[in-house]
A and B are shown apart, each in its own frame.
Chain A
């Protein structure tokens, strides 16, 4: 009863037969072994499972793996390039934007898309852009600092 799916994950093509009901997040975690994408609620409300699909932030707990057929998925593990942290990862580290780290991968993936769409966001725009992601540890202030920092460092690098 498996359905064949072909998904590019972090640049590599993955081909598997999966049950149609398998969620993308479970496909990534259990089939691809990419456990950096986390499950916090199974209902799209916490955002811990956020990945990029063709560059768009998507909550992978509410999409089936088969719906990602032929698409390119980027997970947190695919963000660092050649061993160098992505500027958003670097900024989260720099600004103490994480404590337990559980929401962090989803928060970072959301921030990556946020900065792609709004390269120089205000703090209010950052907060608005992160409203789909829950964090229970940090109280968000350092996360907003980090996204602002990442925007600044990108500008500096450009």
Chain B
């Protein structure tokens, strides 16, 4: 595994267990549902059972009269006082419905909150919610995003006059010329199914108002406390500097908690209005219905190729099902798909047209990978289809279209600049780990024995470390602070908000090495806007690359200041002083060494400081990334499909991921394994299903089949290390790699297994019933 080259082995590069774990394995961490405040009230939401309905009348008298009830509020009573839910991405012709915190005269999706009950206990609130009587008049429902664009379709939001939220296109190179000169054009329609993120901890929040100070504290299970602090004040009428947002221990996010939700805004408003803390904890069925979904794109994709398998151009029209409202990043997901649609390949011409469509469903937004899994899936499927059409080896087609290592930084036709890469190197290593020739021979022999055996490859690239501020709606910098305390202990404050990624450990590793202190002396704080003053939070595999870099800047500033202080105390010039093993000394003197305890004491007690020397040993920094990073890798999957049941068994799985330098290979491995598990779910089982009436059929774990321990194969994991040149750590990010790289490898393997039956493409998920039907059909033909 990698270490920072040229330096002695420190903490960085070591597979270390995490410093955050003891509280978690003991069950003494504090998640939002564990908070109990004096006088705390409990909110329960009344939600629409209809996908589209007129809300004719809401009778709340019985609920208000129920025991323990403090208040019942409908849209008419709160929407005027609470602003609308924000969407951070906008483009010129974006049509946006007014997204109030509670439904107004219409409910637009199953789970749409129409009223909220606040009571002394959660039981009393739930009982009273049952007594809220809503008269609904069901209205025509829009569920199919393609039919939604046809003339005469019912409208999700009649006041917008159309179901099309936006059209967006991307062009690069001469797409018409590419298709004109192509030897072959391969076409495939693909549907990338809707998915539900399903963190095991649902959402929840506690809002508490301190009337004396006029301050509001919102504890919420979120990935983005800082963005909430930016966005919420205007909604509920409080100054930004009177709002404190805390993400306590957060039980998984995966993008589902990368949002400002109606419930958070409304509980905040009610805490101020009622003068008491208000708590809301989401149930699982609410989570499935009213927390964002992901993916859900359908398109017709065309590639122009030369007969030797070089891809000349890619064009497509994608329809993205946005659901009924724009949440924080809803429109930005399919457009991100467009930016990375050319994958790891030199494709000189591209055209992508995206239509975002409103339907009577929950909003889609960023689910782990967020736009990139869609792109990777479609390009990796297309490459396999190209290979099949031309009778070429799919690995060879990939190889022929890679940019060579010396072509980096590599400019794509979509306008991105890939920072660094060696795609061939990762592919070669993965093939070695998979014992490629043996694997291919095994396929031959298994097929000869009548088995449906397939091999799938995915050579992905992703876009991470989000990102340069010019490309990010709310800024893409990150903030950090490092403080040598008066005792010599070190406090690190980060503007990102880890919720499982382990940056209490990785940031401590980085700082411990650079300051030469034991890791036990370091505490990493995060997730509280009153402690971490600035931040852009955790998403897009950005934490270590962007905030780790801010922390490096802080350490450099402290070292510079400490060197000046040490020089003064040692009667030397700064350039005569060297720093090693956590102490400063005059070079070659073998004399007195000043460690952090001595220097911190001097810096804060401030009796012996040189004239004009600012007391204290603390630095904060904003890091502005000059570019995104582009992690990449190769996943190889071999499957056997049961001819009688359609069950898929993954018989071999190899992943080689290159996320640049690795701070902690154990945590990298955990991120990769976790990501692949999401892909296994997506490729083989998971699909969020609404029926034609807009009823959600996958409303809980019973109906939404996430992978369990028995569904996970043994992995062979490896890595290559191509440092990123765009940050001082050379890291690229790894939180989403598995979810982006693995799905197409699995899908390609299953399709390869069915190839002898003449099956060329099936949409995800490749669930047993679908495969069983395809196998039966294949046998008939």
Contacts and interface: CB of A to CB of B under 8 A. Distances in A.
Q: Do A and B bind each other?
A: yes
Interface of A: 19, 21-22, 29, 34-43, 45-46, 48, 75-77, 79-80, 85, 89, 92-94, 96, 98-105, 108, 123-124, 126-128, 130-131, 133-144
A93 B17 contact: yes
Given A77-B28, A101-B251, A138-B670, A35 B700 contact: no
A96 B700 CA distance: 28
What are the 5 tightest A-B residue pairs by CB atom distance, in nearest-first order?
Answer: A36-B27, A102-B251, A139-B677, A101-B24, A76-B27
Contacts, number: 177
B667 A85 contact: no
B615 interface: no
B679 to A, nearest CB: 9
B501 interface: yes
B536 to A, nearest CB: 20
A89 B709 contact: no
Contacts of A140: 673, 677, 707-709, 712
Interface in B693-741: 700-702, 706-710, 712, 714-715, 738
Nearest to A94: B17
Chain A CB within 10 Å, residue with most, of B22, B201, B502, B706 = B201
A100 B712 contact: no
Contacts of A79: 26-27
A102 B669 contact: no
15 contacts: A41-B701, A42-B284, A85-B26, A93-B22, A98-B25, A99-B502, A102-B200, A104-B25, A130-B709, A135-B200, A135-B709, A136-B706, A139-B678, A139-B712, A143-B709
Interface in B643-685: 666-667, 669-670, 673-678
Contacts of B201: 38, 40, 100, 102
B734 to A, nearest CB: 12
A94 to B, nearest CB: 6
A134 B708 contact: yes
A46 B251 CA distance: 13
Interface stretch (B29-37, B433-441, B522-530): B29-37
A100 B708 contact: no
B202 interface: yes
Contact of B26 (A36, A102, A103, A144): A36
A51 to B, nearest CB: 10
Contact of B712 (A48, A92, A101, A141): A141
A19 B667 contact: no
A101 B500 contact: yes
A137 B500 contact: yes
- Chain B interface, DSSP helix/strand/loop, else mixed: loop
Interface of B: 17-18, 20-22, 24-31, 33-34, 123, 197-202, 249-254, 283-284, 499-502, 666-667, 669-670, 673-678, 700-702, 706-710, 712, 714-715, 738
Given A46-B200, A137-B674, A140-B712, 12 more contacts: A36-B29, A77-B27, A92-B25, A93-B25, A98-B21, A130-B708, A131-B710, A136-B254, A138-B670, A139-B675, A139-B738, A141-B712
A135 B201 CA distance: 10
Contacts of A130: 708-709
A130 B712 CA distance: 12
Chain B CB within 10 Å, residue with most, of A21, A38, A99 = A99
Chain A CB within 10 Å, residue with most, of B667, B675, B677 = B677
A99 B25 contact: no
Chain B CB within 10 Å, residue with most, of A35, A77, A101, A143 = A101
A12 to B, nearest CB: 16
Nearest to B283: A42
Contacts of A48: 200
A37 B676 CA distance: 27
B675 A45 contact: no
B712 A43 contact: no
B200 A134 contact: yes
B701 A134 contact: yes
A127 B670 contact: no
B499 A100 contact: yes
Contacts of B670: 96, 99, 137-139, 142
Contact of A127 (B253, B667, B710): B710
Contacts of B712: 127, 139-141, 144
A77 B26 contact: yes
B199 A136 contact: yes
B26 A38 contact: no
Chain B CB within 10 Å, residue with most, of A76, A100, A126 = A100
A154 to B, nearest CB: 16
Contact of A136 (B252, B676, B700): B252
Contacts of A22: 123
Contacts of A42: 283-284
A77 B24 CA distance: 10
